């Protein structure tokens, strides 16, 4: 009976190690969960929507116009924001009557609910190094499950 217990214990250890070797890299470099807070992306995303963020694509390519991205807020990098890309590097944006040229690696982002959004119109462009990824899957609410929501 002791051998069975030891065998079961080692099976559990092996299973746990394999699970950690698979899950941790995916969570660290491929995808992560994200919960939408606030109304800046309404009606596309509502407060409480649960998303999976694709962290891998932007290693292979740059963000494209109209994609919904998740990034570290430039003024407080401990916070994450979700916005839509409306301006790409090299483009000229008109912000309150003032022309702004986006430099290499800068993205102009805005919330879909322009009246309730603090975005690049207020605090400027987002450097590419702060971009975490794009909205890949909406998992909640269950009746709105969607791949590439917001595209």
Name the residue among 72, 80, 67 with its Cα closest to residue 38.
Answer: 80
Separation of alpha carbons 22 and 5, rounded Å: 26
Contact criterion met (CB below 8 Å) for 126 and 119: no
Two structure tokens written together for 8: 């079961």
Apex CA 138: angle with CA 120 and CA 130, to 5°? 35
Catalytic residues: 40, 83
Two structure tokens written together for 35: 């919960």
Start-to-end Cα distance in the chain: 58
């Amino acid at each position: 009976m002791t051998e069975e217990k030891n065998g079961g214990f080692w099976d559990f250890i092996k299973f746990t190690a394999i699970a950690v070797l698979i899950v941790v890299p995916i969570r660290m470099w491929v995808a992560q969960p994200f919960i939408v807070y606030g109304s800046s992306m309404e009606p596309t995303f509502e407060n409480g929507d649960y998303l999976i963020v694709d962290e891998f694509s932007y290693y292979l390519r740059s963000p494209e116009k109209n994609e919904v991205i998740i990034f570290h807020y430039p003024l407080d990098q401990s916070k994450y924001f979700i916005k839509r890309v409306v301006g790409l590097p090299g483009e000229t944006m008109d912000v309150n009557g003032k022309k702004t040229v986006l430099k290499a690696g800068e993205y102009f982002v805005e919330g879909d609910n322009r009246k309730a959004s603090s975005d690049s119109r207020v605090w400027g462009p987002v450097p590419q190094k702060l971009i975490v990824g794009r909205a890949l899957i909406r998992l909640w609410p269950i009746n709105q499950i969607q791949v590439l929501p917001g595209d």
